[in-house]
């Protein structure tokens, strides 16, 4: 029987292109994720210090294995310029054997 893997997507956002690229490059170079997507110009509205603010940010989607989660969170926190960066996580399933083989072949050993 095939061993089940726990896959996650970690999402963070930033208003700094420099931060986005540094986060992406750091995580990929350490093989903590085989694929990161950055979506530009996302309008974010949020409450900060009692005020409603709106600004344009980049969303960073980091696909990985659950065992890499803490390392990635550490990387994000060490690079991110926000006082309180958004770091949220979603579970997902890989339904393609071919994609899963590629995914696992491009992430550091577990």
Tell me the average confidence (pLDDT) per consecutive run of 10 residues in the chain, 110 residues long. Answer: 75 97 97 97 95 97 96 97 95 94 85
pLDDT at 5: 76
pLDDT at 4: 54
- Spell 57-81 as b/e; 16+ CB within 10 A means b: bbbbebbbbeebbeebeebbeebbe
β-pair partners for 61: 11, 37
pLDDT at 1: 35
Topology of 7-94 in CATH? Answer: Alpha-Beta Plaits (3.30.70)
From its phi and psi, is residue 36 left (phi > 0), alpha (psi between -120 and 50) or beta? beta
CA distance 58 to 60: 6
pLDDT at 108: 79
pLDDT at 3: 52
């Amino acid at each position: 029987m095939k061993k089940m893997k726990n896959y996650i997507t970690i999402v963070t956002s930033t208003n700094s292109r420099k931060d986005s690229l540094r986060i992406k490059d750091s995580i990929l170079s350490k093989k903590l994720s085989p694929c990161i997507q950055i979506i530009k110009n996302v309008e974010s509205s949020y409450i900060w210090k009692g005020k409603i603010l709106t600004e344009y940010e980049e969303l960073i989607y980091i696909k990985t294995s659950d065992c890499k989660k803490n390392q990635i969170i550490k990387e994000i926190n060490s690079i991110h310029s926000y006082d309180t960066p958004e770091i949220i996580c979603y579970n997902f399933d890989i339904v393609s054997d071919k994609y899963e083989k590629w995914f696992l072949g491009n992430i550091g050993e577990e």
